[in-house]
Amino acid sequence: MSDHPPRSTEIDTLLTELSPDDPGHPVQDPAAGDAGGAGGGADGPDDDTSPSPLPKKRKRGNALTEWLVVVAVAVGAALMVRAFVLQQFAVSGYSMISTLHDGDRVLVNKLSYRLHDPRRGDVVVLKTLEGADERDLIKRVVALPGETVEYRACVLYIDGRELVEPYLDPAVVTRPSCGTDQIPLEVPDDQVFVMGDNRAGSKDSRSLGPITYADLIGRAFVVIWPAGDWRWL
């Protein structure tokens, strides 16, 4: 006989060691483990992660920061609009009577001549020009590049034909209050000939010469002051 125990005895011993009934090797219930991990168990640490309320002082600080940002954006937008789009100008003097009066305020579109060339009849604001007595002159475009302009005896001629000017006040522009005559002059390229509606009281292209496009700030299109006298130009 062999001195070694039967092979079946070795297998029984191994099964006994791996048996779930072995009190030395308890088997954990997966469901219980998950519940403990998820729920935290009675013996586990307190996992309450709900945020604590922010201090009132910090909330006030955040609100103040938001308002400062809003104000800064609004001011920046206003400056951008004023610089590149719209700007108001005050009329000084009487050269545009009766269309405009001293103290009127007009709104000027500064984008107009970036989009298209000046047009006859436009009321325009000019940059300060050498020889001008005023800043930001406001005049009317009466002749365009390539046209021959002439003014005599209160009548404006374009290429030899009388120009009808419905915007003039007959009580203001009438003989002998016609102002300085203009001998025939051809307007150069990229320039315009401008005059005031009060021909006897305006310093304009008759003395300053044609105005380059670069010297046009923009087109005045509406009177916004006095408040009760809003009107389109």
Does domain 88-232 bear CATH number 3.20.20.480? no
Residue 174 CA to residue 14 CA, distance in Å, equals 129
Q: Where are the alpha helices (DSSP H) in 40-123?
A: 56-84, 112-115
Closest by Cα among 129, 130, 125, 95 to 113: 125
- Residue 67 to residue 187: CA distance in whole angstroms: 53
Catalytic residues: 95, 139
What φ, ψ does residue 102 adopt, rounded to 5°? -55, 130
Contact indicator for 232, 122 with CB cutoff of 8 Å: no
The β-bridge relationship of strands 216-225 and 86-90 is: unpaired
Ordered by start, the domain boundaries in the chain are 88-232
| pTM recorded for the entire structure | 0.68
- Does residue 141 contact residue 124 with C-beta atoms inside 8 Å? yes
pLDDT value of residue 82: 53
Which pLDDT tens digits describe the chain residue by residue (233 residues)? 445 555 444 444 443 444 444 444 444 544 444 444 444 444 444 555 555 555 555 666 787 787 777 776 766 656 555 555 899 999 999 999 999 999 999 999 999 999 999 999 999 999 977 766 666 799 999 999 999 999 999 999 999 999 999 999 999 998 888 999 999 999 999 999 999 999 999 999 999 999 999 999 999 999 999 999 999 99
What is the rounded CA–CA span in Å between residue 63 and residue 66? 5
Amino acid letter, 129:
L
Rounded Cα gap, residues 86 and 66, in angstroms: 28
Q: Where are the beta strands (DSSP E) in the chain?
A: 86-90, 105-109, 123-126, 138-143, 148-152, 155-158, 161-162, 182-186, 191-195, 211-212, 216-225, 231-232
Q: What is the pLDDT of residue 69?
A: 74
Rounded Cα distance between 159 and 161, Å, is 6
Half-sphere exposure of 48 (CA within 13 A, CB side): 4
| Counts of helices then strands in the chain (DSSP H, E) | 5, 12
Q: Which residues make Cβ contacts (< 8 Å) with residue 155, sequence separation at least 6?
A: 162
214 CB contacts (<8 Å, ≥6 apart)? none
